[in-house]
Amino acid sequence: MNESNNKDIRTIETQVPLCVLEMNNEFDLLKEQYEDWPQSVNRVIANNALAEFRNNISCDSLRESTCAVCSGLYSCEYLSTVPVQEICLPLLETNKYFEEPFFEIDFVYGHPCIDKSGYKILFDRNGFVKRNTNDDNENPFDLRLCNNCK
């Protein structure tokens, strides 16, 4: 009660509105509080923030890859890599119509499981994920499949 009376008296004495006096006081307090600003940022924190920023804007997070079965483009969270042995190949056999020489489709993909199966299957070769080991002739690649085809 006393303080507000003092403010009222000061307002009357100086002919300055109360809200302006309060803003002035608040500004003076903040000026004292932050007089040692700006400060240099800790190097570790700055480097971590930069690394996080670079990861979040990298093109890898935006990259879309091809599904080997439907040829659709999907971001990596909708795709998974599956070994050819886990695929039920008879389900993917193509229509006899596409086996005609007119289409010139090469059904040999260089994977023993597919080529020896005898099934004519249409795969998108962009959906093949090469294995790192060079000497693994039994499994030269896996298939990248979207969530719909899996």
DSSP 78-143: GEEEE-GGGS-GGGGBPPGGGGSGGG------S-HHHHTT---B---GGGEEE-S-TT--S-SEEE
84 makes contact with Zn ion (CB under 5 A): no
In angstroms, give the least distance from the CB of 36 to Zn ion: 59
d(CA 143, CA 124): 9
Stretch that binds Zn ion, among 9-17, 102-110, 124-132, 138-146 (CB under 5 A): 138-146
Are residues 149 and 67 in contact, defined by beta-carbon separation less than 8 angstroms? yes
List the one residue from 79, 87, 143, 149 that touches Zn ion (CB under 5 A).
Answer: 149
Compute how many residues bind Zn ion; rule: CB under 5 A: 6
In angstroms, give the least distance from the CB of 85 to Zn ion: 19
**62-81 footprint of Zn ion as x/- string (CB under 5 A):** -----x-xx-x---------
Query: Following CA atoms 137, 140, 142, 143 in sequence, which dihedral angle do they give, to the nearest 10 degrees?
Result: -120
146 makes contact with Zn ion (CB under 5 A): yes
Site residues for Zn ion per CB under 5 A? 67, 69-70, 72, 146, 149
